[in-house]
Amino acid sequence: MLDWSLFPLFFAAGLALALSPGPDMAFTLATAAARGPKAGLGAVGGIITGGLIWTLAAAAGLAALVATSDHALTVIRYAGGAYLIWLAIRTLRALDAPLKAEAARDAWQGFRQGLMTNLLNPKIGLFFLALLPQFTNPEIGPVWLQMLTLGFIFFMMGTVILTIVALAAGAARDRLVRSAASRRALNGLAATAFGGLGLRLLFSGNTA
């Protein structure tokens, strides 16, 4: 139950965002490089689990808002557009930010730390509340259900990318730590995705 005309844009945006060297990737790299692939995969499991819980919360919250107001989805989309543009500006201002994260000791600590770091960060829920509704279409079914489906797909993409990162941690970490050009390229890709999606929300006039 998805609007397949919007799916290619969602997939491209999701891929760009999953590739950006943010805190989750930094934590996975640090843990896998310091403690091995098994610990890195534990970190991936915790990160993805925390993100999925926030996706469930965002979808449930959106469903409750839409049930109380016919204009809630429109308000959320405009607010989400502004938030994504702010993220784009912040990312552009830190294109060459150093990759810093403290490694977990083992797979279980990696899972716990990845999970709790995500669960205790409400910005993650806010991000998905801004991102996912713009790829939904109320005419084809419940928006919250479409958000859950899109969130699941997004995290499957993220799982694949972070798993590759965990398995190739040594080379990947050296590349991102030592190469400012690589960090700029990936952060620039993420900033472009944030800004483009935010502008689409604010100016496309698309209420689907």
Angle at 107 between CA 101 and CA 108, to 5 degrees: 105
pLDDT > 90: what percent of the chain?
Answer: 21
Confidence (pTM): 0.80
81 Cβ neighbours under 8 A, 6+ residues apart: 130, 134, 197, 198, 199, 200, 201, 202
Listed in sequence order, the DSSP H helices in 168-179 are 169-178
Cα(163)–Cα(21) distance, integer angstroms: 14
| Number of Cβ atoms within 10 Å of the Cβ of 125 | 19
Q: Comparing C-alpha atoms, which of 42, 20, 40, 190 is closest to residue 115?
A: 42
pLDDT at 110 over 70: yes
Q: What is the pLDDT of residue 99?
A: 65
pLDDT at 72 over 80: no
What angle separates helix 143-167 from helix 37-68, to the nearest 10 degrees?
170
Classify residue 204 by its DSSP letter.
Answer: S
| DSSP symbols for 47-78 | HHHHHHHHHHHHHHHHHHHHHH-TTHHHHHHH
Cα(185)–Cα(60) distance, integer angstroms: 35
- Among 75-79, 97-101, 104-108, which range has the highest average pLDDT? 104-108
pLDDT in tens, 151-167: 999 989 999 999 998 88
Q: What is the pLDDT of residue 201?
A: 79
CA-CA distances (angstroms) from residue 195 to 3, 13, 88, 141, 183?
22, 11, 5, 28, 18
Q: Please report which confidence band the pLDDT of residue 207 belongs to, taking 50, 70 and 90 as the band edges.
A: very low
- Among 51-65, 74-88, 145-159, which range has the highest average pLDDT? 145-159
